[in-house]
Amino acid sequence: MTASSPLSVLVAALADGSVEVVDLTSPLSASTPVIQLPPEFGQTAPFALEEISRYDERGPAWYWNNFTSGEHTGTHFDAPNHWVTGKDLADVASVPVRKLIAPAVVLDFSAEVEKNPDFLVEVDHIQAWEAENVPLPSGGWLFVRTGWDTRSHSQEAFLNADETGPHTPGLSPECARWVAHESPVLGLGVETVGTDAGRAHSFDPPFPCHSYLMGSDKYGLTQLQNLAKLPPIGAVVIAGPLPIVTGSGAPARVLALVESR
């Protein structure tokens, strides 16, 4: 690399702090919240570690573990084949690597969600934001900030369920269709347990973000953290899911590069 090459400039910016790295990933542990489906359906496994050895008779000089986890536990990547509408499309190992590094915009609805946990983003909200800022990035991410990451310490608070079901924010059915079919983004990122709102089981179609996005060969990123540390415009996101062959998704380390403010 020459001193003026784009990669050299990036390395220098990272070294001098003019470009910062923000971790958008929820740490994985046994307490990481997981989605709960009605009991008649299969359930995802919580994250768990099984110790193999720890500097002992099982392995005197090394420490390591086996782990078990659902594909969609913690901060994770939804591949198109996760939903029936995308069943013939890419698995998580087949997602083109060039799409794992992309620009992102952050739309902040945390004030609305603080008043109403069932708040739904509408097309008009996004178009009003575009009119005041920039168009959504072609081939980039639409991140929806709701402040929900502050609840990630507790399964109960994170799912926010009562006898009628979960109460968490998301997109309206029409907004989900618009993002999937009419917007130029490659995917949707959220702070909640899944890309859909808690009430989405009763929407038409049910779970419209999954249905429309996966069916349109687009992606989801969920259980993101620290979106409050990103600017509305200008972040570059690196999303690194495990390349599980035939997998419908995978836990991911998600990082954002931002210019220092």
At residue 137, the pLDDT reads 98
Instruction: Supply the range of the domain harboring residue 207.
Output: 6-28+71-259
pLDDT band at 111 (very low <50, low <70, confident <90, very high): very high
Number of domains in the chain: 1
CATH of the domain at 244: 3.50.30.50
Is there a domain that residue 38 lies in?
no
* Annotated catalytic residue, options 76, 82, 125, 210: 82
pLDDT band at 2 (very low <50, low <70, confident <90, very high): confident
- DSSP label of 136: P
| 130 neighbors 136 (Cβ within 8 angstroms) | yes
With a CB cutoff of 8 Å and minimum separation 6, the contacts of 237 are 24, 101, 102, 103, 104, 140, 141, 189, 254, 255, 256, 257
Of residues 39, 48, 90, the one with CA closest to residue 215: 90
At residue 255, the pLDDT reads 98
Q: What is the pTM of this model?
A: 0.96
End-to-end CA, the chain:
27
Q: Mean pLDDT, to the nearest integer, of 163-175?
A: 96
User: Catalytic annotation on 76?
Assistant: no
Is there a domain that residue 1 lies in?
no
Q: Mean pLDDT, to the nearest integer, of 110-137?
A: 98
Is there a domain that residue 167 lies in?
yes
